[in-house]
């Protein structure tokens, strides 16, 4: 495997946390819509998916319970993923490399914000990121 492929695998691993956060946001929105639909059935149009509030209370409760269970599962996954990524980032010897990976993959910052925070140029941050990926280990 060449360096480019290995770095892509590392980035994919590091992106798991933001993907989990996205799933959480979607589930939270699903729960919000379910609750709003049941509380204010007239607000949603009949032609919209799930609109009109025509389902019975047991169906609503089952859908809500299932969504909440999935959300709780994602919360647990989020914490496990965060801990694992944080531990692996912490193994890097270079403080700047640890900071760039933390800002980018755990905090979800854009490159410009990272550069500003660290007082580096945009290109300088990308170089630090590249070196951090080379030094980052996927193996446990």
pLDDT one-digit tens code per residue, 32-89: 998 888 777 665 554 455 555 455 778 888 999 999 999 999 999 999 999 999 999 9
Q: Which residues contact 6 (CB under 8 A, 6 or more apart)?
A: none
What per-residue confidence (pLDDT) applies to 139? 77
Q: Are residues 37 and 71 located together in one domain of the fold? A: yes
Tell me, yes or no, whether 72 lies in a domain. Answer: yes
Distance of alpha carbon 98 from its chain centroid, rounded? 19
Return the percent helix, strand and coil in the chain, to nearest 5: 80, 0, 20
72 & 23 share domain: yes
Query: Structure tokens of 20?
Result: 């989990």
Residues 70 and 116 in one domain: no
The gap from C-alpha 134 to its chain's centroid, in whole angstroms, comes to: 23
Total domains present in the chain: 2
- Pair 33, 61 in one domain: yes
Query: Does residue 100 belong to any structural domain of this protein?
Result: yes
The pLDDT of 99-111, averaged and rounded, is: 97
- Do 80 and 101 belong to one domain? no
Lowest-pLDDT choice from 26-30, 44-48, 123-127, 128-132: 44-48
pTM of this prediction?
A: 0.80
How many angstroms separate the CA atoms of 126 and 85, rounded? 19
| 119 and 138, same domain (yes or no) | yes
Print the domain residue range for 32.
14-90
Instruction: Answer yes or no: is 133 within a domain.
Output: yes
E strands, 47-132, are none
């Amino acid at each position: 495997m060449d360096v480019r492929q290995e770095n892509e695998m590392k980035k994919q691993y590091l992106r798991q946390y933001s993907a989990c956060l996205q799933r959480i946001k979607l589930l939270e929105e699903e729960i919000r819509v379910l609750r709003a639909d049941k509380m204010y059935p007239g607000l949603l149009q009949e032609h919209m998916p799930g609109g009109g509030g025509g389902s019975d209370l047991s169906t609503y409760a089952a859908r809500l319970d299932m969504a909440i269970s999935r959300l709780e599962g994602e919360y647990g996954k989020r914490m496990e993923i965060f801990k694992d990524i944080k531990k692996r980032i912490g193994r890097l010897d270079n403080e700047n490399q640890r900071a760039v990976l933390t800002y980018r993959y755990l905090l979800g910052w854009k490159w410009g914000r990272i550069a500003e925070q660290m007082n580096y140029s945009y290109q300088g941050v990308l170089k630090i990121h590249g070196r951090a990926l080379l030094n980052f280990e996927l193996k446990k």
